Amino acid sequence: TDLGTCDFQAGISYVAVSRVTSLQGLLLEAPFDRQNLYNHTPTEGMKMRLADQQRRQAQQLIDPPYPPQYID
């Protein structure tokens, strides 16, 4: 396998390497940079999840609606 080139699908090299169960029979045809295994560019799905998380955090109450002395 040549991991030196860019993935056509985000993370495909990582998935391929993570499924190796033994080093016997594994052949890497060329040297590669480990950083190529990680995708630093967020996908559209990742951007949508981040925006949703930020929207939900903005909706959270900072102070409780009732002070503790009113709760029994």
Tally of structural domains, the chain: 1
The position carrying tokens 């940079």 is 33
pLDDT digits (tens, 9 = 90+) for 12-54: 777 777 888 888 877 777 777 777 666 667 788 889 999 999 9
Is residue 41 domain-resident? yes
Contacts of 69 (CB under 8 A, 6+ apart): none
Would 3 be classed as within a structural domain?
Answer: no
Residue position matching structure tokens 């503790």: 68
How confident is the model over 46-71, as pLDDT tens digits? 899 999 999 998 887 777 666 667 66
Q: What is the pLDDT of residue 20?
A: 84
Task: Report yes or no on 71 lying in a domain.
Answer: no
The reply to whether 4 falls in a domain is no
Q: What sign does the dihedral 34-37-43-47 (CA atoms) show?
A: negative
* Residue 23 lies in domain: 12-61
In a domain, 1, yes or no: no
Location of structure tokens 């903005």: 58
Q: Any idea what the Cα angle at residue 22 is, between residues 12 and 40, rounded to 5°?
A: 25
pTM for this prediction: 0.39
Inter-residue contact 32 to 3 (CB < 8 Å): yes
